[in-house]
Structure 1
Amino acid sequence: MDTENLQIQIKTFFGLEEILAEEVRKLGGRNVEVKNRAINCEGDLGFLYKINYSCRTALKIIVPVMTFKAWDENKFYDKIFAFPWDEYMTVDQSFAIDTTINSERFTHSQFMMLKMKDAIADYFVLKYRKRPNVDSKNPQIKFHLHIDRELVTISLDSSGDALFKRGYRREQTVAPINEVLASGMLQLAGWDGKGNFLDPMCGSGTLLIEAAMIAIDLPAQTFRKGFAFQNWKNYDAELFSTIKEVRLNRVREFSGKIVGYDVDEQALEAARANIAAAEMEDIITVQHKNFFESEKDLFPLLMVFNPPYDERISINEDDFYKKIGDTFKQHYPNTLAWLISADLDAPKKIGLRPSRKIKLYNGKLETRFLQYEMYDGSKKGKHRNTAGE
């Protein structure tokens, strides 16, 4: 493996590609190329460690190690069997394979995965007279098999568990928002740690914690236990330790306030547990409060939230969104507010015209991320942000 010029693919959610690309550029990525739900870039081994540790909107970071064309299963097997697998793993390490196939020639992903496993195992048996173990749940080495028509790409997974698993989530509500999506929303909304932040329906606190991590520039994976690259044969523990130290030394002071409201005490208990696990009790405050009965008391204020649409809300949904609009208008003048909703008719129900609409996916659920700008009557129309209209 050429550790100076690695070809790297970083996966993310639809709609966050440009945010991810900007993050990667700031972290030192070269030749950044935006794709659908991913970006491609180049960097050295230290950069690969750095983006795994620091990048907020990355879901998975993989390194392609082998590309070839195959027209049948025998050609596929032969190519994989001939590859020098012992440069990437030892016979004593366990491995697993994720598979994505878009091909008329190869239609059964499970069969192709087994074919690849057999070829790798046969390689080691021939060379070392021993077969490496397959561990689908907790492998030491993880490969990605991608087949697009005849083109086969095999990549090495540098992350391991998906990067939304930050390591601070101790408790969760019914449908907590994904950490990567939460951070992407905050960055789309322009949150940079200046001013104050409110999540008026905070649930288990994901947006609050991600906002605090951005505010003090704490690396996204500070609380994570480990990465797949730490099992690689070329792992440089000293280099990774230095990268972590340099990044942590950039943590800064935050003078604003980060506040969360919720009407559900159980959700607030989950939020407090997660905030404590993230060591953010000094930065984040959560309160048992009904947003519809609240008034603005933080200046200036950015509001971002994920209105719950599960069993915690028993009121009529149309009425619920109307109450959000009424609260915006009556109690939050001169405020920039963003909310995400899977109800694509939410803007009509809120009764206010959003100044921006961004299409995002929460898992497989299509959503809209909506921006609302509230002004005092005398300021209405001034300094309007029309981007995205």
Structure 2
Amino acid sequence: MENNFKMVAKTLYGFEELLAQELRKLGASNIEMGTRNVSFEGDTGFMYKANLCCRTAIKILKPITGFNIFTEEDLYKKVYAIPWEKYMKSTGSLAVDATVFSEKFTHSQYIALKTKDAIVDRFRDKEGVRPDVDLDHPTLRINVHIDRNICTISLDSSGQSLHKRGYKVANTIAPINEVLAAGMIMLSGWNGQCDFLDPMCGSGTLLTEAAMIACNIPPNLNKDEFGFETWPDFDVDLYELIEEAALKKIREFHFKIKGFDTDREAVKKAKENISSANLSEFIEVAQQDFFESEKETDRSLWIVTNPPYDERISVNDIEAFYGKIGDTLKQKYPGTQAWLITSNMEALKCVGLRPSRKIKLFNGKLEARFVKYEMYEGSKKAKKQ
């Protein structure tokens, strides 16, 4: 279609295929997977939709130009030549993010600074007024991507990272990123087909993302503002139409989503976050020790959890702790698909169960494994027969 343009959605390592599937389902065209990103084409309405509805996207970028650069002066001149007055007013504010993969250009902050200088100098030379820099709530957020000598300048349509959904009002120590939580649940194959449990739920992120997946609620419905809302061409009527169409696709959910935590304060914070997301009717949180619990019904159960790694949350004997996870699953949770993520590879060996799947992910900068344990009713052999 003639109104379509190229966009790039950034994501976390290991989620590229999930994001491509999401974009395909939403109606994107010319989808191509990269490393931690997926490029695609769509129109302005689709850009709004992708920001509102993609669970595994961190940013939706709209490239506006690309060029070769060999020196910092090249960068300055070519950024200066872009008609920035088309995208913002001199009275507005801007922020520049840069990522560099180059032997020639190695300092991303310096590249961001040089880009900012070129933009404000153009406004000052043409209009006698320069825009301010506002790193938190700029009128225009600009992304610079340098791969060797190729520089791409994009407008950031998302504003703040899309993992900041807007429902979190209370955090615990080491909370899991919302995009990571949603991607884990999607990778596990759960979409609301049975009961769900996070037995170490912390601030309730996995529970909240699970409820939104089960009910097909747009993940960024609670977000205060997207970057595109401050653009000169923002079409509020079109956005409201897109939002209304997405809300019509919300579905009913007939199973239970439950969370445990031994920490009373964590339980309180989880309840506050769940209430903030308007999901209290779907999720129950209790102060409970997983190791003293058991499966409550004979219905199928899906467990997805993020136990302590002995990194930011310390555990007295981490290997014994992981051993108890395995024992509890084996003895008290038959008929369960159990998934957990950890960066502690030594402790993972102490679970004492053979994982049927093992997926490499990153939790922040920590390399982690997302593993699946299938807890059969009776023996595995009997199950196969």
TM-score interval w.r.t. the shorter chain? over 0.9
Deviation at 1:3, TM superposition (A): 8.3
Alignment match, 2:346: 345
- Give runs of aligned pairs for residues 219-368 of structure 1, distance below 5 A: 219-298=218-297, 299-309=299-309, 314-368=315-369
Q: Secondary structure at the match of 2:369?
A: strand
Report the AA paired with residue 66 of structure 2.
T
- The normalised TM-score by structure 2 is 0.96
Alignment match, 1:141: 140
Report the AA paired with residue 306 of structure 1.
N
Deviation at 1:313, TM superposition (A): 5.6
Q: Secondary structure at the match of 1:241?
A: helix
Deviation at 1:108, TM superposition (A): 3.4
Alpha carbons 1:347, 1:354 under 8 Å: kept? no
Give the whole-Å Cα distance in 2 for the aligned partners of 1:362 and 1:288. 25
Alignment match, 1:387: none
Give the whole-Å Cα distance in 2 for the aligned partners of 1:213 and 1:161. 20
Alpha carbons 1:3, 1:45 under 8 Å: kept? no
Q: Secondary structure at the match of 1:24?
A: helix
Q: Deviations over 1:334-378 (max 9, x none)?
A: 111000011113442000100000000001000000000011334
Deviation at 1:312, TM superposition (A): 6.0
Q: Deviations over 1:210-232 (max 9, x none)?
A: 00001111100111111000011
- The normalised TM-score by structure 1 is 0.95
Deviation at 1:77, TM superposition (A): 1.9
Q: 1:81 to 1:383 in 2, by over 3 A?
A: farther
Alignment match, 1:62: 61
Give the whole-Å Cα distance in 2 for the aligned partners of 1:381 and 1:32. 44
Q: Secondary structure at the match of 1:373?
A: strand
Unaligned stretches of 5+ in structure 1?
A: 385-389
Larger deviation: 122-131 or 338-347?
A: 122-131
Deviation at 1:273, TM superposition (A): 0.6
Report the AA paired with residue 181 of structure 1.
L
Deviation at 1:145, TM superposition (A): 1.1
Alpha carbons 2:342, 2:348 under 8 Å: kept? no
Alpha carbons 1:12, 1:60 under 8 Å: kept? yes
Larger deviation: 144-153 or 69-78?
A: 69-78
Q: Secondary structure at the match of 1:268?
A: helix
Give the whole-Å Cα distance in 2 for the aligned partners of 1:383 and 1:190. 21
Deviation at 1:95, TM superposition (A): 0.5
- Give runs of aligned pairs for residues 7-18 of structure 1, distance below 5 A: 7-18=6-17
Report the AA paired with residue 301 of structure 1.
L
Q: Secondary structure at the match of 1:328?
A: helix
Q: Deviations over 1:240-267 (max 9, x none)?
A: 0111111111111111000011111111
Deviation at 1:137, TM superposition (A): 2.8
Q: Which runs of 4+ in 1 moved over 6 A?
A: none
Give the whole-Å Cα distance in 2 for the aligned partners of 1:111 and 1:212. 42
- Give runs of aligned pairs for residues 64-79 of structure 1, distance below 5 A: 64-79=63-78
Alignment match, 2:107: 108
Alpha carbons 2:355, 2:371 under 8 Å: kept? yes
Give the whole-Å Cα distance in 2 for the aligned partners of 1:11 and 1:114. 22
Q: 1:135 to 1:72 in 2, by over 3 A?
A: same
Q: Deviations over 1:259-293 (max 9, x none)?
A: 01111111101111111111111110011111111
Alpha carbons 2:195, 2:257 under 8 Å: kept? yes
Alignment match, 1:90: 89
Give the whole-Å Cα distance in 1 for the aligned partners of 2:69 and 2:365. 31
Larger deviation: 305-314 or 63-72?
A: 305-314
Give the whole-Å Cα distance in 2 for the aligned partners of 1:3 and 1:363. 39
Q: Secondary structure at the match of 2:345?
A: coil
Q: 1:194 to 1:105 in 2, by over 3 A?
A: same
Deviation at 1:81, TM superposition (A): 1.6
Larger deviation: 209-218 or 84-93?
A: 84-93
Report the AA paired with residue 145 of structure 1.
V
Q: 1:3 to 1:230 in 2, by over 3 A?
A: farther
Percent identity, aligned pairs only?
51
Give the whole-Å Cα distance in 1 for the aligned partners of 2:36 and 2:112. 23
Alpha carbons 1:92, 1:132 under 8 Å: kept? yes
Report the AA paired with residue 295 of structure 1.
E
